[in-house]
Structure 1
Amino acid sequence: MLLSASTLLAGCATKLAQPITGYTCCNLRPDYGWVSSTNMLGGPIVPAGEPATLDTVKRDTYFFGTIGGDYISMRDDAARSKEDALRWVRQIVVPTDPKVALASWSPEVQKAVYSAKVIIGMTRPQVLMSLSYPSRNDTKDLNANTWRYWTIQEDEPVDVLFGADGTVSGFSGKPSAVRTVEFRR
């Protein structure tokens, strides 16, 4: 019976005609081998710039493959279609290694990104590389002045606030949650 169930389950997944290959856009937070568009902060980090190959899809929103040589599963919790999910996956797996951009940033910003944290004055692309994309359910527009992230600690939100110049001006949230995001110098 177990063999039949696993054979049936395997039949639901299909190989992509063209694998999605590239690099991780940003630091990712897998939860038991899953990277989710919900993007809960806390726990282990898969660093930006890891080689990635996604070659299998299931139910149009679940993608499977390897990142940095480890098997990984990815899901877009907000996707309404396969096209939505593919758009998200292509934001996460990018064709150009982001470490090239990272190397051009100040040493302080580099330290923050390597720590998956944020400092006042970081740009939106720097925050994206450090924390990844905020959940689309809470941050509908990446040009907004506030990006909301959720932390594993106490399931609390942290808002990253952007000033008129487009750089991080501060944080809002419970102090223990803000500590999850803010890089302390």
Structure 2
Amino acid sequence: MKLSHPFPHAAAAIAIVACLFLSGCATKLAQPITGYTCCNLRPDYGWVSSTNMLGGPIMPAGEPVVLDTMKRDTYFFGTIGGDYVSLRDDAARSKDDALRWARQIVVPTDPRVALAGWSPEVQKAVYAAKVVPGMTRPQVLMALSYPSRNDTKDLNASSWRYWTTQEDEPVDILFGADGAVSGFSGKPSAVRTVEFRR
């Protein structure tokens, strides 16, 4: 005997709403954004966000990317490494803001070429999505991706703030006058999320 859904109209309505949400304002990009992941990304339940909470799974730098759909001027859809993915720019105030962010995350050349020329210790730190004192800003970017623009408005600043899944605590990456990482600031549990232990 075939069982029917106890609320068939509700099930149909949910399906329609889901379809509208996924397709309602979504438009194909005239030119898909293609390239490679600039850095290690942190997907959270299938989303990569500009908020960039550290902790959890890593989507590594150098994965091939095709973003072909945009929705509500902040959401992107496509594939990374062949897997379907959704991205959102939580700080975007316009479509241009979101497109700039997407083009930071998706770069035209494979970053693993640059990574191969860095010291073995820096390579290990990047592969682990961690930071070691002495790393440059580009090396930190590849390891951790971009800090949220809400907290770090200038990438030339003497510190970058990242939020971690450890008690929802921030950790600051500190840069010395030479532009290299000089240390960390934050609760020990948050610092452990980013600091590479030799």
Q: TM bucket by the smaller chain?
A: over 0.9
The answer for unaligned runs of 5 or more in structure 2 is 1-12
What's the TM-score, normalizing by structure 1? 0.98
Deviations 1:110-150 (A, max 9, x none): 00000000000000000000000000000000000000000
Measured in 2, the distance between the counterparts of 1:8 and 1:121 equals 49
Aligned residue in 2 for 1:147: 160
Aligned residue in 1 for 2:189: 176
Aligned residue in 2 for 1:97: 110
Q: CA RMSD in A?
A: 0.8
The answer for unaligned runs of 5 or more in structure 1 is none
Secondary structure in 2 matching 1:22: strand
Q: Which one has the bigger strand percentage?
A: 1
Measured in 2, the distance between the counterparts of 1:6 and 1:133 equals 31
What's the TM-score, normalizing by structure 2? 0.92
From 24, 28, 34, give the equivalent of 2:47.
34
Does 2:30 align with 1:17? yes
> 1:12 offset after TM fit, Å?
1.9
Measured in 2, the distance between the counterparts of 1:94 and 1:120 equals 26
Aligned residue in 1 for 2:17: 5
Aligned residue in 1 for 2:130: 117
Name the amino acid aligned to 1:35: V
Percent sequence identity is 85
Aligned residue in 1 for 2:139: 126
> 1:5 offset after TM fit, Å?
2.4
Measured in 2, the distance between the counterparts of 1:43 and 1:165 equals 31
Number of residues paired by the alignment? Answer: 185
Highest Rg: 1 or 2?
Answer: 2
Measured in 1, the distance between the counterparts of 2:17 and 2:164 equals 36
Segments of 4+ moved more than 2 angstroms: 1-9
Measured in 2, the distance between the counterparts of 1:5 and 1:184 equals 48
